[in-house]
Amino acid sequence: MTQHNHHHQDHQAHGEQPPHSRRGGDGDGHAGHDKHAGHSVAGFRDKFWLTLLLTIPTLIWSGMIQHWFDYTAPQFPGSVYIPAVFGTIVYFYGGWPFLHGGYHELRNRLPGMMTLISLAITVAFLYSALVTLGVVEGLDLWWELATLVAIMLLGHWIEMRSINQAQGALKELAKLLPDMAVRLDEAGGTKEVPVADLKLGDLLLIRPGASIPADGVVKEGTSAVNEAMITGESKPMDKSTGDRVIAGTVNGQGSLRIEVTGTGDETALAGIMRLVEQAQTSRSRAQALADRAAFYLTIIAIVSAAITAIVWPLLGRPWSFTIERVVTVLVIACPHALGLAIPLVTAISTTIGARNGLLVRDRRGLEEARLLNTVVFDKTGTLTLGSHRVVKTTAADGFTDDEVLRVAASVQRDAEHPIAQALMTSAKEHGIDVPMSQDFESMPGRGVRAVVEERSLHVGGPGLLRMLAVEPPETLRRAAEAAAADGQSATYLVEGDKVLAVFAIADAIRPESFDAVKRLHASGLEVVLLTGDSTAVANAVAKELDIDTVFAEVLPEDKVAKIEELQAQGKRVAMVGDGVNDAPALLTSDVGIAIGTGTDVAVEAGDVVLVRSDPRDVPAIIALSKATYRKMIQNLWWAAGYNIVAIPLAAGVLASWGILLQPALGAVLMSLSTIVVAINAQLLRRAVRST
């Protein structure tokens, strides 16, 4: 069993736990932003503004501020205690989230950012209270305490707002579903009912411009449906009888009647929401590194503060100076930016992926995608359309390709054979209007006959030619031989004793597959085709797409061995498949990429689900992985690196040269580092667009 297989099992084992309960043994208590549990963006906003109002009197009546700005605040009985009164209110009211969070961190033996902030404001509060009560001599720190709390609340408000905006994809997805649906009764009458009341099998009327309230199958009508919000595909998709529609998509100008096949939690939209939420709470290795760094930074800050508290009194500095240095060290070393560095990038990258039809199911898979050097594709339904098409038409002299396809499809119009469906589908895709046929007759093992526009025509394989005792022209004979060499079926159109055309029919290659392979090669990746089809068919597809390696005639249960064979050669392998027959191979690969179909997105085998079934999304996933990793590393270096300079400055190593950081300035610098990390994470959107 590979490492990838293990992490799938680990992930599933923890799947029932709420995000805030996912803790490791390496000090990863910052995972999932637990420090904000129970708080809202609006709550931090309101607390910040009220704390700021309470801070103003503290500043105005502060003796230090009056001295600096050379003014005298209004004096009245008790005015000397204004900084102490308002500072105390700020400590308990504005500082409560930090005190509460610090208590829980210490109780869980996972000291972190909240521990440092609560220590800083508590030291400042106790010292200032003792000075105000005359127990010790010195300068109080009420204004520093008040401004520190206000700035910290501002920083948390900005942070929570950034994360909330990044995670807004879930809220936007939830808004796609309408509240009401128009249900049809047996008599054809309509009744508007709540979406929650819909049941499987209900017949719904979808009016022009309306959102589709449930997954379903079109029973009547034609229209174009905008599925961009689900699949990322900007072009509206034509829908007619038998086509599937997705809840949350928007109907175009036509009217549709659909039969409900999925409601509530069973819809594709609900599946997407589950995957997005799961990805945003799943932990990556970079997050574990950030959590560990934050834990050690907390320990370093506490030790540095303790050394500062011991050294300065020994050097003859007053306690007011020492306490101020201790508070500044504790504040400036807060691993606030470290706590934000990875979760914000995680939320943004997951949102970017979801909006482009790339559903990240497991963060570790996305993280490892940047390391890939080999991509293995299943053939049917992945690189090919999964249904037969006319891949090449060769017409006899005097006839056009569209002309012979038109009449051949008409001959096969009433047949159920896959060849007939291939001709009809190809004619439809070419925009050819297929006429009605008459006197249809099936000849098992040979072909079919019908009258089209008063012409008696036959369509069939080599057996038909033998039955009719006709020989194709040389050009058509060579075309048929070339088709057979590529593992394709050769089907002939015959009128009387003349062969009018030969059609090469096969599982057609997706037009997007060419660009997908080209992009992967441009990125230096090896492309492998893994299929159960015959060697001739596999080689033909590989040759056309310029694929490097082919494994053909491989049974589903043997695909795992092929993935392990590539891994044994030291290759980092991604497997791209449909998530059903290919599930074992997807789990075994380093990164499993499951092909969705727009309506089947809850694929449990892959790390990533491609909603559009577009192979070009494979290089897009790798590009997103690389861009995401760059932002994570940049944020980690900035969030942790600035402390190398900041902590010594906060401790006062340059005090002899008159360079000192006040606690409030330390809070500003710490908050600025958080803002820099947040802005850098937001730039991921631009980085992804430019790839």
List the catalytic residues: 378
Give the length of the chain.
691
Based on C-alpha coordinates, what's the Rg of the chain?
34
Give DSSP secondary structure letters for 122-171.
Answer: HHHHHHHHHHHTTSS-S---HHHHHHHHHHHHHHHHHHHHHHHHHTHHHH
Q: Side-chain half-sphere of 206: how many Cα atoms within 13 Å?
A: 37
Are the C-beta atoms of 396 and 476 separated by less than 8 Å? yes
Structure tokens at 433: 């209007």
**C-alpha distances in angstroms, 444 versus 411, 425, 468, 499, 513?**
15, 22, 14, 20, 36
- 3-class secondary structure per residue, 94-130: CCHHHHHHHHHHHHCCCCCHHHHHHHHHHHHHHHHHH
Are the C-beta atoms of 579 and 603 separated by less than 8 Å? yes
614 Cα distance to chain centroid: 16
| Beta carbons within 8 Å of 610's beta carbon, 6+ residues apart | 357, 358, 359, 576, 593, 594, 595, 596, 617, 618, 621
- Give the SS3 label for residue 373: coil
Structure tokens at 168: 């807004």
Q: In sequence order, what are the beta bridge partners of 447? A: 443, 460
- Give the SS3 label for residue 689: helix
Burial 178-196 (b: 16+ CB within 10 A, else e): beebbbbeeeeeeeeeebe
Q: Which of 668, 649, 669 is nearest to 325 (CA)?
A: 649
Q: Write the Ramachandran bin of 34: left for phi over 0, alpha for psi from -120 to 50, otherwise beta.
A: alpha
Q: What is the C-alpha separation between 301 and 335, in angstroms, rounded?
A: 10
Are the C-beta atoms of 286 and 640 separated by less than 8 Å? no
Give the containing element (helix H, strand E) for 258. strand 256-262
**C-alpha distances in angstroms, 274 versus 215, 280, 603?**
16, 10, 11
Are the C-beta atoms of 567 and 542 separated by less than 8 Å? no
Q: Side-chain half-sphere of 343: how many Cα atoms within 13 Å?
A: 28
Q: What is the C-alpha separation between 343 and 282, in angstroms, rounded?
A: 10
Q: What is the C-alpha separation between 202 and 225, in angstroms, rounded?
A: 20
Structure tokens at 426: 């190809």
